[in-house]
Amino acid sequence: MKPYGMQIYEVLRVLNPSQYMYNINFGSIRIIGSSPEALISKNKDILNTVPIAGTIRRGKTPEEDIKLEKELLEDPKEKAEHIMLVDLARNDLAKVSYPGSVDTFELMTIQKYQKVQHIVSKVR
């Protein structure tokens, strides 16, 4: 029989499959979760973060999906929240980066998941 924490993790993989999933066991403490967002990653000397803010459901048809995507990208509140997170990410990376080296190399693109669409940006 599998440990109880692993059973929870496997159910989570079915109910909420995400790009980043974790099952960390610290003895008496276990942390299990899933997220579409990598808070930070490093490749050689490059730090990357992918702010996600702005969510809308997926459409029932490809046409509805595109309509909802456009609605999300044009929503002033969603845009403002997303830009705020991008600014925070740029500021955080700037604290540990060479002056002038922080770059937003993708701004406000749509990432589609099984049930929702998110606005994402990429900062390095």
Going by C-alpha positions, the residue among 120, 91, 92 that lies closest to residue 106 is 120
Whole-number pLDDT of residue 5: 83
Whole-number pLDDT of residue 105: 93
Q: Give the position of tokens 């990357």.
A: 48
Task: Report helix, strand or coil for 49.
Answer: strand
pLDDT tens, per residue, the chain with 124 residues: 567 888 999 999 998 888 889 999 898 899 999 888 888 899 999 999 999 999 999 999 999 999 999 999 999 999 999 999 999 999 999 999 999 999 999 999 999 988 899 999 999 9
pTM over 0.85? The answer is: no
CB 75 within 8 A of CB 97: no
Domain ranges, ordered by start, for the chain: 1-35, 38-123
Whole-number pLDDT of residue 10: 93
